[in-house]
Amino acid sequence: MMILGIETSCDETGIALYEGSSNKIIFEALYSQAEKHNLYGGVVPELAARDHINRLLPLLKNKLDEEKIQINEIEAIAYTNGPGLRGPLMVGAGFANALSYSLDIPSIPIHHMEAHLIMAKFDSPQLDYPYVSLLVSGGHTLIVKVLSAEQYKVIGQTRDDAVGEAFDKTAKLLNLGYPGGPQIEKRALLSEDKYPFSFPRPMINSNDLDFSFSGLKTSVLYKVNDLKKENNLSENVINDIAHEFQNAAVDCLIEKTLRACHVEKSKSLVLSGGVAANKYLRKKLEEKKGNIKLYYPDLKHCTDNGLMIAFAGYQKIKQGRKNYFIEVTPRWSLENV
Ligand code: KG4
Ligand code: ZN
């Protein structure tokens, strides 16, 4: 079955055509608005929505032409229905539903985080339930026990900022641009670790599976303010701050994630979401995982993309889900407008 995935929850316009029965990507395309939002140090929802409107149709048309595929070869559409930014979500949902009506094919609403969570199965179909997943993105930091298809139990989460948000805010403090995660990772690699920075690892020893990242970000803020006053915020110092910030964030993620595997007696661990693209996090987990088997999507499928939505849509179809919907209001009192 040929299923088109559409992702517009934030600032990436992602599409992919996926052939489910052979697990094959027919095409995928991503238009990143990062440069546009970089000017503002973060995503501006209204700009993001307008840009999705401009990009979606050309992106799809170009790919269909390039691959010589007729639009009526598409057999179903999956689109991100939430969570995310309202305007950008509405653009994707409107586009998907209009296309589904005109082609007379199903349109399947997808939970963005569920799509991240199950994407590791695209490369590793042998991954078996139950498993534990560290689901880390710009808006979420969750440890999830995946019991079976569609049965998720959140067993740990952040009490304040998401870890991706902490990466982004720290990068903004250091003037490294948006999105911050890849910038911090790059600068950490350049660090010679000369300056003895030490940032806290909040909640690392707490007797639960939760996280807290706002204090870590605030310690960087205080340090940066002091260094600016002393006129000491050189490029080398920035590299060292990025290095220690990344170490602190990764230490917290690894401690609680491995504890979760231990508590749940899970032999499989899945890394998912944008922060799962961080190579230092992957390396450290590989070093410390013991006999736990580690799975993750390839780098480009960790951050937002159309394929994860198409892949999730295909799983829904395979599970026989029929509740594809467009919300309308058949009974609607005039007194309730
Ligand atoms: O999953 P994603 O693309 O979008 C959301 O659903 O939020 O995740 C984006 C987040 C951003 O906060 C970004 O800075 C972070 O993932 N990120 C990274 C890396 N690549 C993306 N964080 C750390 N290291 C990376 N290499
Ligand atoms: Zn995402």
Q: What is the pLDDT of residues 229-269, one digit of tens each?
A: 999 999 999 999 999 999 999 999 999 999 999 999 999 99
Which one of the ligands is nearest to 303 CA?
A: 1
Judge if 230 and 185 occupy the same domain.
yes
Ligand 1 and 182: CB distance under 6 A: yes
Total structural domains within the chain:
2
Nearest-5° Cα angle at 257, 150 to 173: 105
Judge if 232 and 113 occupy the same domain.
no
Judge if 285 and 326 occupy the same domain.
no
Q: What is the 3-state secondary structure (H, E, C) of the chain?
A: CEEEEEECCCCEEEEEEEECCCCEEEEEEEEECHHHHHCCCCCCHHHHHHHHHHHHHHHHHHHHHHCCCCHHHCCEEEEEEECCCHHHHHHHHHHHHHHHHHHCCCEEEEEHHHHHHHCHHHHCCCCCCCEEEEEECCCCEEEEEEEECCEEEEEEEECCCCHHHHHHHHHHHCCCCCCHHHHHHHHHHCCCCCCCCCCCCCCCCCCCCCECCHHHHHHHHHHHHHHHHCCCCCHHHHHHHHHHHHHHHHHHHHHHHHHHHHHHCCCEEEEECHHHHCHHHHHHHHHHCCCCEEECCCHHHCCCCHHHHHHHHHHHHHCCCCCCCCCCCCCCCHHHC
Judge if 166 and 286 occupy the same domain.
yes
Does any domain span residue 35? yes
- The range of the structural domain enclosing residue 89 comes to 2-118+301-336
Report the Cα–Cα distance between both ends of the chain, in Å, rounded.
Answer: 41
Q: Residue 276: which of 83, 125, 143, 79 has the closest Cα?
A: 143
Does any domain span residue 96? yes
Ligand 1 and 275: CB distance under 6 A: yes
Does any domain span residue 18? yes
Q: Label residue 319 exposed, middle or buried (CB < 10 Å: 0-12, 13-18, 19+).
A: exposed
Q: What is the pLDDT of residues 143-177, one digit of tens each?
A: 999 999 999 999 999 999 999 999 999 999 999 99
CATH code: domain of residue 159: 3.30.420.40
- pLDDT band, very low/low/confident/very high, at 330 (cuts 50, 70, 90): confident
Going by their DSSP bridges, the two strands 107-111 and 2-7 should be labelled as unpaired
Judge if 283 and 323 occupy the same domain.
no
Which one of the ligands is nearest to 171 CA?
A: 1
How much is the pLDDT for 79?
96
Ligand 1 and 138: CB distance under 6 A: yes
Res. 318: pLDDT tops 80: yes
Ligand 1 and 274: CB distance under 6 A: yes
Measured in Å, residue 176 CA sits from the centre of ligand 1 at 15
Ligand 1 and 181: CB distance under 6 A: yes
Judge if 202 and 290 occupy the same domain.
yes
Judge if 184 and 245 occupy the same domain.
yes
Instruction: Report the alpha-carbon distance of residue 95 to residue 79 in Å, rounded.
Output: 9
Does any domain span residue 242? yes
Residue range 300-310: mean pLDDT, rounded: 98
Q: Which of 245, 303, 308, 309 to mutate to test the pocket of ligand 1 (most atoms within 8 A of CB)?
A: 303
Judge if 104 and 222 occupy the same domain.
no
Res. 139: pLDDT tops 80: yes
Judge if 11 and 60 occupy the same domain.
yes
How much is the pLDDT for 328?
63
Instruction: Report the alpha-carbon distance of residue 127 to residue 121 in Å, rounded.
Output: 6
- pLDDT band, very low/low/confident/very high, at 135 (cuts 50, 70, 90): very high
Distance of CA 230 to the CA centre of its chain: 38
Does any domain span residue 290? yes
Ligand 1 and 167: CB distance under 6 A: yes
Name residue 108's beta-bridge partners: 78
Quick one: which atom of ligand 1 is closest to the CA of 112?
6
Measured in Å, residue 189 CA sits from the centre of ligand 2 at 24
Q: Among 4-8, 36-40, 181-185, which stretch is predicted with the lowest mean pLDDT? A: 36-40
Ligand 1: which residue has its CA nearest to atom 10?
Answer: 138
Judge if 87 and 156 occupy the same domain.
no
Ligand 1 and 114: CB distance under 6 A: no
Q: What is the pLDDT of residues 71-114, one digit of tens each?
A: 999 999 999 999 999 999 999 999 999 999 999 999 999 999 99
Ligand 1 and 88: CB distance under 6 A: no
Judge if 87 and 190 occupy the same domain.
no
Going by their DSSP bridges, the two strands 268-272 and 131-136 should be labelled as parallel
Judge if 277 and 316 occupy the same domain.
no
Measured in Å, residue 327 CA sits from the centre of ligand 2 at 24
Does any domain span residue 157? yes
Ligand 1: which residue has its CA nearest to atom 21?
Answer: 274
Residue 277: both structure tokens together: 């693209």
Measured in Å, residue 164 CA sits from the centre of ligand 1 at 5
Measured in Å, residue 316 CA sits from the centre of ligand 1 at 26
Measured in Å, residue 307 CA sits from the centre of ligand 2 at 12
Instruction: Report the alpha-carbon distance of residue 115 to residue 108 in Å, rounded.
Output: 12
Ligand 1 and 14: CB distance under 6 A: no
Res. 47: pLDDT tops 90: yes
Does any domain span residue 123? no
Ligand 1: which residue has its CA nearest to atom 22?
Answer: 181
* φ, ψ (nearest 5 deg) of residue 190: -85, -5
Residue 202: both structure tokens together: 């909040």
